[in-house]
Amino acid sequence: MAKVLITPRSFAKYDQSPYKKFEEAGIEVIANPSGGILSKEEMIHHLKNVDGVILGVDPMDKEVITSATALSVISKYGVGTDNIDLDAAKEADVKVTITANANSEAVADYAYTLMLSVARRVVEIHDGCKNRDWTKKIAIDMHGKKLGVLGLGAIGQGVIRRAKGFAMDIYGYDINYNEEFLNEHNVKKATITEILKTCDFISIHMPLTPATKHVINKDTLKLAKTNLVLVNTARGGIIEENDLYEALKAKQIFGAGIDVFEEEPAYNSPLLELENVIVGSHCGASTVGAVDKMSEIATDNLIEALKQRGKIK
């Protein structure tokens, strides 16, 4: 019987049908026993004699992959593969799949929520009122402002579609462009530098790669407007967090909405100290609909790949 390890805690939390599919396929399921993100050592231990894994943000580096001698398939629960050593997977003949577009609308919703919440100082006002401080706090406008979107995949496009309702002037950066989409939504191509100099709001949706690591840093933040609202729902390593902290503390930019960190949980991040930051627990995709869709697609991807590899009939 084929064995599958499932690491995401939210997997099939609302719709149990993926487990029925595993049962029908004759697959034994091993659930994450820790209730949290597995460590490298735990991954090595739990992947022994396992044919496939549905993977969250747990580490899947070369050592983990090479130690998992029975592993045939990594089915990513999401789209980001920065926690997977893709070269090591290829070398070990381990197939890697992603749940493309399963959570894009949910993350786009959350990115837009963060932009609005930071601009209107929603959390500050909420906390003040609960502490009997009814002082009016002056916020900034979003309607009609300039929005820069770094990364124009499904999530970035979702943010742009939402921005049209706010009559925003939209600038976009990517390494590849969908010209039809850009023309339809009147998106201006721009470099990261141009977006930082020009835009009032920036929403990040790029993958974390050597080229994008710490692309937002003290030097690039110096280019930004003092009214900038910066939102990141992509990957933490894209922003140099200490540099962002200094810029926010000095009121060099207006505020930030950060759902992703280089180290998660981000218990020790200095960003937690600041009022002009709204932080999240990497929860952009944490909606019932997105969880159901990611669970379904990740399961289907895994079962199909195991069939192709001859692990199940």
Tell me the per-residue pLDDT of 209-257, one tens digit each, with 9 for 90 and over: 999 999 999 999 999 999 999 999 999 999 999 999 999 999 999 999 9
Cβ partners under 8 Å of residue 50, min gap 6: 3, 4, 5, 30, 68, 70, 71
- Rounded CA gap, 33 and 11, in Å? 13
Cis before residue 265, ω within 30 degrees of 0?
A: yes
The pLDDT tens digits of the residues spanning 170-199 come to: 999 999 999 999 999 999 999 999 999 999
Q: What percent of the chain has pLDDT over 70?
A: 100
Positions marked catalytic = 235, 264, 282
pLDDT band, very low/low/confident/very high, at 35 (cuts 50, 70, 90): confident
143 has pLDDT over 90: yes
The percent of residues above 90 in pLDDT, for the chain, comes to: 97
Please say if the pLDDT value at position 112 is more than 90.
yes
Mean pLDDT value across residues 122-145: 97
pLDDT at 313: 83
Structural domains of the chain, ranges and CATH numbers in brackets:
2-100+288-308 (3.40.50.720), 104-279 (3.40.50.720)
Average pLDDT, the chain: 97
User: Using a CB cutoff of 8 Å and minimum separation of 24, what contacts does 38-45 make?
Assistant: 38/7, 40/64, 43/7, 44/68
Q: What is the pTM of this model?
A: 0.89
pLDDT mean over 256-271 = 95
Q: In this structure, are strands 52-55 and 277-279 parallel, antiparallel, or unpaired?
A: unpaired
**What is the arithmetic mean of pLDDT over 270-275?**
96
pLDDT at 220: 98
Q: Report pLDDT for 57.
A: 93
pLDDT exceeds 90 at position 33:
no
21-38: average pLDDT: 94
Give the pLDDT of residue 14.
96
- Can you give the pLDDT at residue 185? 98
Distance CA 36, CA 58 (A): 9
Q: Which helix or strand (DSSP H or E) is residue 55 part of?
A: strand 52-55
pLDDT at 110 over 90: yes
